[in-house]
């Protein structure tokens, strides 16, 4: 990371969001107008801009931060089935009562989420300071604050716990409710990649991700000084929601609006063997999903080879190979390790250990897209573009953004019965050179379809205000309907 990208830390800097081209603030999932009254009696949105707190103007922010730790928490495990429990470990400073509101992500007439239940009033304590060993930050020693027993009647899905102190500070903890019942589509939430980017605590001293850490002067350092191992036993930085979480929530809102039969799981479920691909017609990877373990890839390849389709709605998928290990107390899959290019041994890039991601996806990561560019439609007569109104060479504004994939001619393709590139889009990279993004679809010998959008902007085009595009909505429906064999 060059010197121009190293900046001095400031309270609430949200450094973990600097690379998010679709930053929506702390709540990309809730559109409804839920408000509260501040100390002066004024109505303030509960997702008030953190800048208010930094500037000292207005009523001040109610979003908790990683410096004062007004309220922060994490869940263990991150996913559970009805009848099982989720444990919340929460710190509150100063100690006071707090409550936990549980929301389920969905369409809900456009609100984006629905409140499912509220905890009783709970007594908050200041938990011990996070432990840090060689850049690995962990809060595994925090006391249990509240146990949520998931009722048998709850719907599977993506959930968010909203933590609120008596004096109005709030933070968030995402978790998943899953089961093993068959469904048309299994949605896989990329919690492994979310944790790789997590800089908690974003305090200018302690926090570290696989990308950043701090020096003694409070400067944000780059990858060469970042963590090699990060822990799931800690809150997410800032408002408590992961970087890029909105990409998954965009897909969920759209898919639930149109009644697709969805099951839910996390990437760690895929890693741990809790996913049986034969129960589903398709696996959907809805958001930025960069970090994959060997078992994750093995199960996904097995899914394709036995007839289960794969849908990748982002870019830079399966770029780094990672390992998952137990916590100090022996709980499995609570530590994530990726050496990247540091230290002895092979690179952690899949493509540099002779297993390029293109062999599964059909395309692979090409680079960053500094400014959004149009996606240029190719092979418009293909059924994916049917009834979208898209013609050959049409440009869909802003759809190549964040990061992009393309076909690499010198890299082996997966075995296929048919293959098509459905977009070929020029964009300028950080040096001003012209690059190309591509969208891929192939049919495996098993009959499975494998689609890769090749851009970060596909899921936001489904249901995010200011990014929605009806052509992408219809193209995605064409794909999923074919996978699900719907009329």
CB 404 within 8 A of CB 427: yes
More confident residue, 222 or 294: 294
Mean pLDDT over residues 279-299, rounded? 97
Report the alpha-carbon distance of residue 16 to residue 145 in Å, rounded.
26
pLDDT digits (tens, 9 = 90+) for 159-186: 999 999 999 999 999 999 999 899 999 9
pLDDT digits (tens, 9 = 90+) for 251-282: 999 999 999 999 999 999 999 999 999 999 99
Mean pLDDT over residues 2-7, rounded? 36
Tell me: pLDDT of 9 over 70. no
Q: Which CATH class is domain 276-319+357-484?
A: alpha beta
Reported confidence tier of residue 3, pLDDT bands at 50, 70, 90: very low
Q: What is the DSSP string of 324-364?
A: EE--TT--TT-EEE--TT-SSS--SBGGGGT--THHHHSSE
Q: Which range has the worst mean pLDDT, 29-33, 95-99, 232-236, 369-373?
A: 29-33
Helix (H) or strand (E) holding 53: helix 51-55
Tell me: pLDDT of 247 over 60. yes
Reported confidence tier of residue 21, pLDDT bands at 50, 70, 90: very low
CB 380 within 8 A of CB 366: no
Q: What is the pLDDT of residue 340?
A: 85
Tell me: pLDDT of 60 over 90. no
Report the alpha-carbon distance of residue 56 to residue 451 in Å, rounded.
48
Q: What is the pLDDT of residue 221?
A: 86
Tell me: pLDDT of 52 over 50. no
Tell me: pLDDT of 394 over 90. yes
Tell me: pLDDT of 67 over 60. yes
SS3 state of residue 159: strand
More confident residue, 299 or 340: 299
Q: What is the pLDDT of residue 341?
A: 65
Read off the DSSP letter of residue 94. S
Mean pLDDT over residues 222-239, rounded? 92
Q: What is the pLDDT of residue 376?
A: 98
The pLDDT mean for the chain works out to: 87
- Measure Cα distances from 295 to 266, 271, 274, 302, 310 in Å: 13, 5, 11, 10, 16
Q: What is the pLDDT of residue 243?
A: 85
Tell me: pLDDT of 446 over 60. yes
Reported confidence tier of residue 22, pLDDT bands at 50, 70, 90: very low
CB 150 within 8 A of CB 81: yes
Q: What is the pLDDT of residue 65?
A: 87
Domain ranges of the chain: 3-231, 276-319+357-484
Tell me: pLDDT of 405 over 50. yes
Q: What is the pLDDT of residue 354?
A: 85
Q: What is the pLDDT of residue 62?
A: 77
**Cα–chain center distance at 5:** 23
CB 449 within 8 A of CB 443: yes
pTM score, whole prediction: 0.90
Reported confidence tier of residue 311, pLDDT bands at 50, 70, 90: very high
pLDDT digits (tens, 9 = 90+) for 184-209: 999 999 999 999 999 999 888 899 99
Report the alpha-carbon distance of residue 110 to residue 116 in Å, rounded.
16
Cβ contacts of 452 within 8 Å, gap of 6 or more: 312, 317, 361, 362, 363, 405, 439, 440, 441
Strand partners, 103: 115, 160
Q: Which CATH class is domain 3-231?
A: mainly beta
Tell me: pLDDT of 316 over 50. yes
Q: What is the pLDDT of residue 14?
A: 37
Q: What is the pLDDT of residue 176?
A: 98
Reported confidence tier of residue 46, pLDDT bands at 50, 70, 90: very low
More confident residue, 182 or 37: 182
Mean pLDDT over residues 350-379, rounded? 95
Query: Hey, how many other C-beta atoms are within 10 angstroms of the C-beta on 41?
Result: 7
Tell me: pLDDT of 346 over 80. no
More confident residue, 11 or 149: 149
CB 46 within 8 A of CB 34: yes
Q: Which range has the worst mean pLDDT, 14-28, 196-210, 354-368?
A: 14-28
More confident residue, 218 or 386: 386
Q: What is the pLDDT of residue 112?
A: 85
Mean pLDDT over residues 423-450, rounded? 97
Q: What is the pLDDT of residue 486?
A: 60
The CA-based dihedral angle spanning residues 471, 474, 475, 476, taken in that order and rounded to the nearest 10 degrees: 120
């Amino acid at each position: 990371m060059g010197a121009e990208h190293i900046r001095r830390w400031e309270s609430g800097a949200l450094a973990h969001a600097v690379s998010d081209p679709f930053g929506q603030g702390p709540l990309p999932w809730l559109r409804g107008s839920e408000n509260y009254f501040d100390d002066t009696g004024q109505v303030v949105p509960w997702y008030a801009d953190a800048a208010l707190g930094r500037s000292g103007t207005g009523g001040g922010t109610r979003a908790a931060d990683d410096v004062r730790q007004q309220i922060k928490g994490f869940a263990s495990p991150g996913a559970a089935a009805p009848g099982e429990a989720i444990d919340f470990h929460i710190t509150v400073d100063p100690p006071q009562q707090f409550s936990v509101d549980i929301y389920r992500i969905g369409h809900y007439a456009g609100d984006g989420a629905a409140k499912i239940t509220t905890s009783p009033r709970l007594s908050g304590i200041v938990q011990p300071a996070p432990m840090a060993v060689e850049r690995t930050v962990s809060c595994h020693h925090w006391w249990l604050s509240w146990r949520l027993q998931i009722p048998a009647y709850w719907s599977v899905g993506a959930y968010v716990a909203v933590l609120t102190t008596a004096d109005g500070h709030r933070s968030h903890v995402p978790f998943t409710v899953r089961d093993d019942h068959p469904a048309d589509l299994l949605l896989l939430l990329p919690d492994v990649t979310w944790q790789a980017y997590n800089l908690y605590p974003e305090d200018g001293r302690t926090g570290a991700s696989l990308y950043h850490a701090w020096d003694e002067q409070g400067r944000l350092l780059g990858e060469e000084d970042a963590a090699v191992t990060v822990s799931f036993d800690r809150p997410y930085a800032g408002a408590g929601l992961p970087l890029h979480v909105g990409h998954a929530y965009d897909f969920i809102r759209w898919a639930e609006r149109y009644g697709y039969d969805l099951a839910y799981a996390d990437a760690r479920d895929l890693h741990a063997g809790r996913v049986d691909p034969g129960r589903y017609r398709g696996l959907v990877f809805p958001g930025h999903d960069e970090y994959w373990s060997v078992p994750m890839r093995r199960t996904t390849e097995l899914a394709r080879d036995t007839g289960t389709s794969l849908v990748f709605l982002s870019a830079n998928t399966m770029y780094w190979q990672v390992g998952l290990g137990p916590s100090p107390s022996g709980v499995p899959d609570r530590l994530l390790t990726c050496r990247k290019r540091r230290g002895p041994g092979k690179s952690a890039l899949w493509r540099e250990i002779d297993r390029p991601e293109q062999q599964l996806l059909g395309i692979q990561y090409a680079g960053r897209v500094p400014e959004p560019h149009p996606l240029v439609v190719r092979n418009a007569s293909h059924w994916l573009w049917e009834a979208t109104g898209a013609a050959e060479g049409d440009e869909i504004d802003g759809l190549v953004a964040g990061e992009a994939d393309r076909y690499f001619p010198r890299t082996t393709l997966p075995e296929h019965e048919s293959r098509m590139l459905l977009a070929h889009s020029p964009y300028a990279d950080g040096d001003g050179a012209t690059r190309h993004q591509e969208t891929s679809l192939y049919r495996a010998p098993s009959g499975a379809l494998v689609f890769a959008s090749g851009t970060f902007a596909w899921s936001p085009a489904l249901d995010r205000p200011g990014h929605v595009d009806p052509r992408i909505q219809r193209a995605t429906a064409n794909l999923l309907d074919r996978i699900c064999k719907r009329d």
